[in-house]
Structure 1
Amino acid sequence: MNLEWYDDVLAKVAQPPAWQSAQEQVLVEPYAYLASIPGKEVRSALIAAFNRWMRVPDDDLDIVKKVVGMLHTASLLMDDVEDDSHLRRGMPVAHKIYGIPQTINSANYVYFLAYQELQRIHPQPGAKVQEMVTEELLNLHRGQGMDLFWRENLICPTEPEYIDMVNNKTGGLFRIAIKLMMAASPEQPPRDYVPLANLIGIIFQIRDDYVNLQSAEYTANKGFCEDLSEGKFSFPIVHAIRADQTNRQLLNILRERPSSPGPKNYAVSYMDKRTGSFAYTRAVLRRLMRQARDEVARLGGNRGVEEILRKLEVNEPAEAGESEGLEKKLEEVVKVKSVKEVNGTLPAPAATEAPVLSLTGASA
């Protein structure tokens, strides 16, 4: 570099910083990688279903979908780093490909891109959408913070404490979607859909905790009983620990964060046969489902929301020996997945060349 280049640096830096699309692609690549992998699209389905009530104009609804998708995908990038996860939607997590620093920066960058996108929405008079989104992102981080605190300090919360955490953490993004729609809806008189959204968020998370420990499909997408490997106090685990506080076996397993199937199978069997935690979780979900359906009816009925609730139902086990059959099925999934990883036959991720603002994100 010629030294003369620095003689007029003041004039150069007086201009707005230069930024090129190639640089943008570098920053958003971890985000774009995750957004390109199809998820369950629960939040997209929720937005479409609630819009049967609210009739948000198409342009504003597209913005809501985009903002929620960006915030959700960015939060998943951070979750996977904080949990040291290995799989997301059946593929390697972003930070195992791009590294932790670049993944964190990408997630934070997309949070601010979402705020930039939010400025395009047309809310009803008096609606303060940016303040609302800020408050709900604070709630999300409060919930995540307590979840991490319990895990790192091996503190088992009570069930009400767990529900409060979930209402902050999982409920935050559900509420952002519904509150943005309420702000842009021409519905008169306006109705409050937030309590129902909160309840669906709690149902969603408790169900997710359940299938993490009981579903072979979940094992294929996220890993075998990943909550045990992460030392996470999920809903069935909280119940099992508090059902018999004189027995510290499950706490000790969580502390060790096992990666091998043996301790995990033992923990699942303990929760099933000793404490009845899976049956208890199903019973709780049934009660929550009844309340959610009653609220849907009170609001006038909605086939879309009713269909979401139907898909979130957890079926009763077909027979008493479900754990033994499940263990064999899970072990087979783990075995097949390990062979594929060794042989390099896991499917390659989709291309990630799309610019960030064309991406709407995907559900976990």
Structure 2
Amino acid sequence: MTPRKKIRVLIVDDSAIVRQTMTAILEEDPDIEVMATAADPFTAARRMEKEIPDVITLDVEMPRMDGITFLRKLMAQHPVPVVMCSSLTEEGSETLLQAMEAGAVDVILKPRVGVADHLTEHHLQIRDVVKAAARARVRGGVMRAARPLVPEQKLTADAVLPPPSGRPMSRTTEMVVCLGASTGGTEALRAVLEVLPADSPGIVIVQHMPEHFTRAFAARLNTLCEVDVKEAVDGDPVLRGHVLIAPGGRHMMLERQGARYYVSVRDGPLVSRHRPSVDVLFRSAARAAGSNAVGVIMTGMGDDGARGLLEMKQAGATTFAQDEASSIVFGMPKEAIARGGADRVVPLGAIAREMLAAAAR
């Protein structure tokens, strides 16, 4: 039997501790191999003359050339899936958003103090991010052949809230739209939200992102969209013309009191290895809104949201999945489709129109 080809990673970071820790974390996975490390982009470019990696992890702040400049040059000359790895937190989130717009497929945040312990604590998420990047469609590139992965044990939404009761929810005049996305979702969500009119139904979103990053992401979207976009706070009402994005590191659930919808933001275990989890949001929508909801699952690796979208459909909601051609990573939508959770499969450019039409019906 021919051995499975490993994902070859180039680590670019000026910190020796980060290079050593990331190498140890990634090489613990049998599907990943660190082909080389580099302390700056110039060293990385010389190494890439010999071999092109499957994935690059790239620091933002480095000597001689910063990571954003290197990323832009890389995407213009030889597109490769890039994961940004930066010590920038809330103050630097704008920089990381620029990295996503320049072509980075995901981001790993690291603290300025205790970085080795932090990275080690988040070893599963780091490996998942690298595996997702290896499957990503990059600008100017093509979708890489998917490698079969051995799934590790994961908690379901049962760890946070019970399944829907099965009783149908009566239809009201107000509809709620629930969106879930992961790798590639920052740009995909922008494409959807930018074209929405100011009187759109209330929207709640889970995008897999680190803490602090979601606040800057919401603020950026708010400057681009006619709808109002903000990072959700516990108790925020779901209102027409408003979009709530789950904060990184917290689960977000849809709740109902009479005819009024609001969100509950809380801590809890990782669900499908994520917090916030799309499955948690979708299950809460099935419980609280039923046929008054529209569910949309978008680009991302793994299966978070697949069970929840099916639960929404079974509760009477209208459900959509993004198609393969327009997905950066066709993982989460593919799983939802396979489980029978999607009423329709639509391209990214049609999602806004389709969900508004469904909400109007």
Is TM (by shorter chain) over 0.5? Answer: no
Query: Structure 2 length normalisation: TM-score?
Result: 0.24
Instruction: Name the structure with the higher strand share.
Output: 2
Max radius of gyration: which structure? 1
Query: Structure 1 length normalisation: TM-score?
Result: 0.24
Instruction: Name the structure with the higher helix share.
Output: 1
Q: Which has the higher contact order (CA 8 A, sep 6+)?
A: 1
